[in-house]
């Protein structure tokens, strides 16, 4: 497939979405920008978009193989992902296996407390209101999703958590929490969209509990890209590395 990149239809904090020559397809371009704190802290990291697109593609492929519907079609080249066009639902669906980050600031959980069963939390994706936490009544009253759609989103999210948690454990990575987003495809199906990357997940080294994600940037550390490259190195097989021409960096 060799799609033509068309007009820009959406520019987010770290990705741009372009039309293509096929009406139901879009190209998602992963940029090098990285932000934190509602976009107040903003920098550019060389090749971040490249690595995040490759990492996200790998996760989407694993999920598709396990029967999860995603918007992913193919990575045209690093940084440029061909996707099904979705009407996005403005929900940040956060799953937590270990308590850390905002949840320990807002509630009396201990830092690093194991959460079994995992917590699924939904925040309203809205910068003006600073992404407040929702409950189902507020979500349905705002017509963001129906109760049935919310139940479906929870069911799919639990499955995604199990698939990715097990996959990552095999690669010696802990999966404390992650944020995903869903949308509707042209048939009205709820489909996983957006990205799954160190920008949107917490990844910790299983043995040392070393942080390998965007928390390094949030905390002002300098080794952010080393961590992103380490995640790519751990989750990609040799064939993936050859394909994306990153074996020389990651071996
Ligand atoms: N997250 C995200 N985008 C957001 C908020 C959170 O991708 O706007 C991810 C974040 O990277 C982490 C998880 O969701 O993996 C839970 O984040 P938390 O609520 O703990 O917020 P934080 O402490 O990162 O502000």
pLDDT (tens digit, 0 to 9) for every residue of the chain, 251 residues total?
689 999 999 999 999 999 999 999 999 999 999 999 888 899 999 999 999 999 999 999 999 999 999 999 999 999 999 999 999 999 999 999 999 999 999 999 999 999 999 999 999 999 999 999 999 999 999 999 999 999 999 999 999 999 999 999 999 999 999 999 999 999 999 999 999 999 999 999 999 999 999 999 999 999 999 999 999 999 999 999 998 887 655 54
Q: Say if 250 falls within a structural domain.
A: no
131, 176, 177: residue to mutate for ligand 1 pocket, most atoms within 8 A of CB: 177
- The 8-class DSSP code of residue 145 comes to S
Distance (Å) from CA 142 to ligand 1 centroid: 23
Q: Are residues 79 and 114 in the same domain?
A: no
Asked if the structure places residue 148 within a domain, the reply is yes
Give the domain CATH number at 233. Answer: 3.30.200.20
Whether 71 contacts 89, CB under 8 Å: no
- 64 and 15 together in one domain: yes
Q: Is residue 215 part of a domain?
A: no
Q: Which pTM was predicted?
A: 0.96
Are 69 and 192 in contact by the 8 Å Cβ rule? The answer is yes
Residues ≥6 apart with Cβ < 8 Å to 171: 234, 235
* Domain total of the chain: 2
Cis peptide before 117 (omega within 30 of 0): yes
Asked if residue 168 belongs to a domain, the reply is yes
| Together in a domain, 119 and 163 | yes
Residues 107 and 64 placed together within one structural domain of the fold? no
In a domain, 210, yes or no: no
131 lines ligand 1 (CB under 6 A): yes
Residues 121 and 199 in one domain: yes
Question: CATH number of the domain that 168 lies in?
Answer: 3.30.470.20
Q: Give phi and psi for 229, each to the nearest 5.
A: -65, -35
- Give the domain range for residue 94: 88-205
């Amino acid at each position: 497939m060799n799609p033509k990149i068309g007009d820009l239809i959406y520019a987010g904090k770290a990705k741009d979405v372009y039309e293509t020559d096929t009406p139901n397809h879009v190209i998602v371009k992963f940029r090098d920008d990285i932000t934190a704190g509602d976009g107040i802290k903003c920098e550019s990291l060389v090749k971040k978009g490249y690595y995040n697109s490759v990492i996200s593609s790998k996760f989407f492929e694993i999920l598709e193989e396990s029967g999860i519907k995603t918007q992913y079609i193919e990575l045209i080249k690093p940084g440029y992902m061909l996707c099904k066009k979705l009407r996005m639902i403005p929900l940040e669906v956060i799953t937590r296996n270990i308590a850390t980050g905002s949840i320990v600031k807002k509630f009396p959980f201990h830092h690093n407390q194991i959460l079994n069963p995992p917590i699924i939390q939904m925040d309203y994706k809205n910068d003006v209101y600073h992404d407040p936490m929702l409950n189902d009544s507020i979500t349905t009253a705002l017509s963001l999703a129906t109760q049935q759609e919310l139940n479906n989103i929870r069911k799919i999210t639990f499955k995604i958590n199990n698939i990715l948690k097990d996959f990552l454990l095999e690669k010696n990575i802990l999966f404390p929490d992650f944020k995903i987003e869903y949308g509707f495809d042209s048939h009205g199906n709820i489909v996983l969209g957006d990205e799954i990357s160190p920008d949107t997940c917490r990844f910790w080294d299983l043995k040392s509990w070393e942080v390998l994600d965007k928390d390094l940037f949030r905390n002002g550390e300098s080794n952010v890209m080393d961590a992103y490259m380490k995640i790519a190195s751990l989750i990609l097989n040799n064939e993936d590395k050859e394909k994306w021409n990153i074996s020389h960096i990651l071996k």
